Every structure is written in structure tokens, then in C-alpha cells.
Structure 1
Amino acid sequence: MENDDLLYTLALQHVPNLGDTTAKKLLKKFGSAKEIFKEKKGNLLKINGIGATRLSELNDPKNLKQAEAELEFIEKNNIKVHFYQDTDYPEKLKHCLDGPVLLFSRGQIDLQKKRIISIVGTRQITAHGIAFCEKLIEEIAPLDPVIVSGFAYGVDITAQKAAVKNNLQTVGCLAHGFNQIYPRTHKKYVKEIEENGGFYTDFWSTDNFDRNNFLKRNRIIAGLSEATIVIESAEKGGALVTADIANSYDREVFAVPGRPSDKYSLGCNNLLKAQNAHVLTSAADVAYILGWKTENKPKVVQKQLFINLEDDEQKIYQFLENSGKTELDQLALNCNFPTFKTASLLLNMELKGAVRPLPGKLFEVI
């Protein structure tokens, strides 16, 4: 985007109370932000959602003046700007009506042809939550997903640190501009995350930092991803808001079940009880629901050496070897395992090179 176009689009983005949905409506009608600011008042008032108050705010000269200052900040700090109609704008976020008109980024983010999941949850993560989150990312790492989160305390930073550890790209969505880092104690993680992904925000350097920013930020976390995973959550919390947004975008939601007596399992259990999330017990659940497949690289392997199959895995392998291609549910029935457990075992066997998935939820031995 040329500087002149960017200047006027920044001004449009920062008009008080206009919102991204209305801004996109105006851009579609008039073609560019510059044309919007030049348009006659009468024509603007014909647009649904533009009343006298919004029109007055739109015509305030300070919009362009503030945009000039922000553009200078962007250029000085090597911030990348993504317009919602451009090819470098995240594809999944394009399909969200309230996705930001402009998205700002830093780092080496590459979402092209990538599997993308968001992992969110309480800031008061338990030892069990940490262990589950780290294990989940370790298990799913062979599928090379991008891990999105909010760079906050608890589940967020646990997921992003685990992503870096497993050489996965990770994206932190910030609730403030690039003039600061919150929480400050996470500043030590910025460099490694920018080297293994980066950060997104739609906030300016001049935006006030308050709790409502987190709620606005959550739509980006949900919108970037094909699925949102809630690791732990109390009965109320921002992670549940993110899950609700993901559901409203028609994206998949997963929740880790826990004991009814555990405070930070209540939110997840309620999501499951209301059938607003899939049960998540392992990485296999994500791969199965999302239809992810591993890439099977040809191997020269003697079957009798193959390898450290657990007893339950051996039972599945033996059945497939005797019966040939079998559908997941039928395999679970014949081996007397729950479907979710069978899916988990199959993913482990797939990663070991023992079985491969086929279209129609079929599996066969290699």
C-alpha cells in the first residue's frame, strides 16, 4: 500500500466509534479511504450505520493529523502493515466481518499454506495445565502447525514457549501497540518469538491500554485460526470469550475436560456440557476433527523391526493387517476402544510409520 493510501486508511481506522465493519462497508462503496474523506456528506449519510455523530467524527481534521504521527512511528520501527484486501493479510481473518481493516505485525510471520491453531486459557495455569499444554504441542509438532496465543501469563506464554521449543512458528496477538510490551516480564521472550513467528496487533502506539483491549484482541486470536483450544479456564474468563468468538466464526473449538471440583476446569467443562466444544484429550483429537494428515515419507523398513508398538497399538495393527483398510469407527468397535482413544493411538502409529490415513476416514498398515 502506498504511503498516501496508508495515511488515509489509518485515519479511517482511527475514527472514534466507526468500527471495522462499517469502515469496510465504506471502503467497498467508495473504493478507497481517501475517497471516503473527500465524499459529500449527503452521500455518506446514505450509508447504513453512518449517522450525524459518526459523520462529524469522520470529518474531524485531527484524524489525518494523528494518522501522520502514527505513520511516522510505523516507519521508524519497521512495522509491517497489512490491509484487509491485500494478499499478505491472514487468509482466515479475511473471512471475519469484524476483522481489522489494518493489521500491524513484527517478526517473521508466514501463514501461507499453514495449519493454524489458537491455544488460550487462564492466566493462573496449574501444574497439570502446563504439563498437558507442553505435551499437546510436543505431540502435534510433526504436523507443523502455527501456534497462536495472546502472549499473556499462564496458558498463553506456556503454549508459545512450547512452540519455540518444538521449532514451531508462534504468533502472539497483543492488546496494545508496538510502543510497549505487556506483561513487561515477557519482554525477554520477544526476540525468540519474533525469530520463530512474531506478533500481530491492530492497536496504535497512542491507544490507551485497558482491559477492554483484551476482549477486542481476542477476535484476532480466534479469527486467525481454524480451531481454538481452551486448556484451562475458570467459570468466567477471556478464554471463554475467545471460544465464543471462534464459534461465531464457525471455527472448531476444543476444551480439555477436568474434575468438577477443579476451579480452572469449570470453564472447559461448561463448554463441553453446552456442546460448544469438542473434548480434547490428546493431539490426535485435533488432527482427527480437523482432518489433518501427516505426510508419509517412503521408508525401507522390515516389518518385524517396526518398532516399539504399545500393546493397544499392536492390537490395532494386527486387526488392520488381517482385515485391510478399515474406517475409524469400525476399527474402534472391533478393537473395543473408544473412538477418541482409537484416533489417538492411530496418530501415534502414523507418526511411527506403522499406518497411514486414507480418504473417507480409512486407515491401513504400511
Structure 2
Amino acid sequence: MNNDERICSIALTLCPGIGHIGAKRLIEGMGSAAEVFSRRQELPELLSCVSSAVIAALDNPAAFLRAEHEMEFVEKNRLTCLTLKDEAYPSRLRECEDAPAVLFFKGNTDFNRLRVIDMVGTRNATEYGKQFCADFLHDLSALCPDVLVVSGLAYGIDIHAHRAALANNLSTVAVLAHGLDRIYPYVHRKTAIDMLENGGLLTEFLTETNPDRHNFVSRNRIVAGMSDATIVVESADKGGSLITADLAVDYHRDCFAVPGRITDASSKGCNLLIRDNKAALIQSAEEFVQAVGWNAEEQSAKPEGIQRNLFLELTDEEESVVRILSRLGDLHINTLVVEADIPVNRMTSLLFELEMKGVIKAMVGGVYHLLGN
């Protein structure tokens, strides 16, 4: 049995009937993909809800042969293969129930920096949408020069978001709906190459995978899951960007939409998101930064509130959160999740307990302030 965690993780994705959620649960339950395979006969005793069908699916020599072939491609082309166990794996995405067991990356960036956004929208972008991408990222680069911009390299808003990020020296990553043996659409190849110096190309798909329609839906969960906030620039009343927005809401991430005229087909989706309270209306980078709590002036303020109770007994996890806030100042909950490496559902509970103990104060936009700091 091959014990290479990368090969085992790839092989696990190739076992029929297990799926993203099943694979992640098996890895979390056993501690690694390698352990899942090496102890597969014991799984029913060690983990609940593991059926004989799962054991049969794991007995799959062909999956290992394919995984080994994929790793040869990865090594030959100097790609990075990230498993759920790797520190460089996108921490925000790792917290999602359906996070992929393995990712392939070519480029140069840090997925776990303090600020990550994604910008998505229609393939039929208007001048209004294109100009918003250019203006928004120009202004955001001045306010938050370390932000990572994620999109999907598609026609329309996606490619304009990538190009605007590059023009303003922002790191930008394209999440692909196919393997790294090709670029789709091919006309965006130059932009994709330019991104490798400050950003790059990311995918869960193996080589020889075609950019089929269902793959785009699958990749949208990665776009939403690895980001602090989703920004829908333009969208018709149906489309992939609305799926990304729904996923962001499901993952408890911030979601924003750029409003448009009610007569414009390319703004119908955004207007519906705002109407249905699925997304907050956004008009500028300044507005966005304030909404997500990245505003430096707001973070430096010392709001009055609950008095901090001295000599409290805090758990190790609570102490960790306090140390992070003391060191970095006011932070958004998504940033705390990344910094503390604590799941978002557990972090929500910890923050509530700390607020009740008078240690922290909740501010606008999901930002938390350490009292007495």
C-alpha cells in the first residue's frame, strides 16, 4: 500500500460513490488519507456509518495507478499538490464540509493571507461591469494592498477581475473547471501565464478532465469557500455567479452585489440578491472595506462596552483567540478562523462565550474587538 498522502488523497477522490463529503469525513476520522486505505478493513469498527460498499470502493488498485500517473505529471511540471493535511491548503476552504481532498496549483501566492475576496459575474459583461472591476480593485489596492483576488478565468467579469488585479499589483488566483494540462478558454492563456508570478491557477481536477458544465458548478464552491467575501458584479437572473453567491451564504461568508438598472438584463441577478437579502449592496471599495471590518480607522477605535472581567479562567482555545486579537487588533471572524485554525462553527461558539465573559465586543460586519486592548 502506498503511504504517500498525496497519492492516497488523489486515489480517494477516484473511488466511486464516496464523493467530496465522504472523502473529507474519512480523512478527518482517520487522520489522513493514507490511514483510510491502510486500515480500510477496520473502518466499520472505527467510524460510524461506514458501509461494506465503502470498503469495496476503497479496494481499488486502478485508482492508485491513476493517482501515481497524476503525481508524475505534477512533479514533471513543477506543480504543487495540496492535501487537507498540508499547512498551505486554503484554511477557509478546509472548514467547508465539501472541501476537496486534494488541490493542484501552479503559481506563487499565499492562500491563507488575512484578506481574500472573490469577484464573479456574467460572461456577457457590460462596460458598467468592466469599469466597476477596474475602479474597485484600483481603490482596494490602495486600502488593502495584501488582498488576494479569486475568480474563474471565464469570459466577462472573471477575466476583467483578474486583469484589474494584475494591473494593480494584487495577487490573483483562477480556480479552473479542468486539469492543469490545459487553459480554457484558450484566449485567456496570456493572462493565465501573467498570473503565475503573483497568484496562479488552482484546480481539484486531474489532467485529461474536460471543462464540462457540471465541473464549473463544482469549482464555484472552491471560489466561494476559499474567500472571506464574494462580490457579484453583474449577473443575469440565472447563472453560475448566483450559485457562487448561494454557496457563500451557505458557508457563512459575506456576500455583496453591485446594483444596476432594473431594465438591464445583466443586473437582474444582482438586484435579486439584494432584494432577497442574500447580498449587501456595494458601490465602492471604501464601502466594502468598512462593511467587512478591514477599515484601519475603525479597527483602531476603542469602543466603549462591556467591562473586561479580570482573573477569568479561559480555555486554551479562548486564550488562543485572545492572544490573536491582542497581537493583530480587531479582526473579522473569518480571519480568526484562519489564524487560530479553529472551525468556523466552533469559533462562533468561542466568540459568544468570550463576549458573555466581557473579554471581547462584537462590532459591525462580523469584526471582534478585544476589550482593554
TM-score by length of 1: 0.77
CA contact (8 A) 1:231 1:256 kept: yes
- Equivalence for 2:10: 10
Check if 1:31 corresponds to 2:42. no
- Equivalence for 1:198: 200
Distance 1:88 1:39, change over 3 A: same
Distance 1:257 1:54, change over 3 A: same
- Equivalence for 1:220: 222
Q: Which amino acid letter does the alignment assign opposite residue 96 of structure 1? A: C
Structure 1 residue 127, shift from structure 2 partner: 1.0
CA deviation profile, 1:302-340 (whole Å, cap 9, x unmatched) = xxxxxxxxxxxxxxxxxxxxxxx999xxxxxxxxxxxxx
CA contact (8 A) 2:255 2:280 kept: yes
- Equivalence for 1:163: 165
CA contact (8 A) 1:234 1:264 kept: yes
CA deviation profile, 1:234-268 (whole Å, cap 9, x unmatched) = 00000000000000010000001111111011100
Secondary structure at 1:93's aligned position in 2?
Answer: helix
Structure 1 residue 287, shift from structure 2 partner: 0.6
Structure 1 residue 96, shift from structure 2 partner: 1.0
- Equivalence for 1:68: 68
Q: Distance in 1 between matches of 2:67 and 2:161?
A: 35
Structure 1 residue 48, shift from structure 2 partner: 5.0
Structure 1 residue 49, shift from structure 2 partner: 5.4
Q: Distance in 1 between matches of 2:3 and 2:209?
A: 21
Q: Distance in 1 between matches of 2:11 and 2:176?
A: 21
- Equivalence for 2:306: none
* Alignment of structure 1 residues 303-314 onto 2, 5 Å: none
Q: Distance in 2 between matches of 1:90 and 1:29?
A: 20
Distance 1:186 1:42, change over 3 A: same
Greater shift in the superposed pair: 78-87 or 36-45: 36-45
- Equivalence for 1:262: 264
Greater shift in the superposed pair: 156-165 or 40-49: 40-49
- Equivalence for 1:300: none
Secondary structure at 1:195's aligned position in 2?
Answer: coil
Greater shift in the superposed pair: 169-178 or 107-116: 107-116
Structure 1 residue 182, shift from structure 2 partner: 0.3
Larger Rg: 1
- Equivalence for 2:182: 180
Q: Which amino acid letter does the alignment assign opposite residue 117 of structure 1? A: I
Distance 1:68 1:240, change over 3 A: same
Check if 1:149 corresponds to 2:157. no
Q: Which amino acid letter does the alignment assign opposite residue 168 of structure 2? A: N
Q: Distance in 1 between matches of 2:102 and 2:363?
A: 40
- Equivalence for 1:289: 291
CA contact (8 A) 2:179 2:208 kept: yes
- Equivalence for 1:120: 120
Q: Which amino acid letter does the alignment assign opposite residue 231 of structure 1? A: V
- Equivalence for 1:133: 133
Structure 1 residue 10, shift from structure 2 partner: 1.5
CA contact (8 A) 1:178 1:204 kept: yes
Secondary structure at 1:264's aligned position in 2?
Answer: helix
Secondary structure at 1:88's aligned position in 2?
Answer: coil
Secondary structure at 1:87's aligned position in 2?
Answer: coil
- Equivalence for 1:312: none
CA contact (8 A) 1:22 1:49 kept: no
* Alignment of structure 1 residues 335-354 onto 2, 5 Å: none
Q: Distance in 2 between matches of 1:205 and 1:227?
A: 29
How many percent of aligned residue pairs carry the same amino acid? 41
Q: Distance in 2 between matches of 1:257 and 1:67?
A: 45
Q: Distance in 1 between matches of 2:261 and 2:125?
A: 15
CA contact (8 A) 2:117 2:230 kept: yes
Structure 1 residue 47, shift from structure 2 partner: 4.5
Q: Distance in 2 between matches of 1:11 and 1:151?
A: 27
CA contact (8 A) 1:45 1:55 kept: no
CA contact (8 A) 1:169 1:196 kept: yes
Structure 1 residue 177, shift from structure 2 partner: 0.6
- Equivalence for 2:309: none
Structure 1 residue 113, shift from structure 2 partner: 3.1
TM-score by length of 2: 0.75
Secondary structure at 1:229's aligned position in 2?
Answer: strand
Structure 1 residue 232, shift from structure 2 partner: 0.3
Secondary structure at 1:275's aligned position in 2?
Answer: coil
Secondary structure at 2:231's aligned position in 1?
Answer: strand
Query: Unpaired runs of 5+ in structure 1?
Result: 297-324, 328-358, 362-366
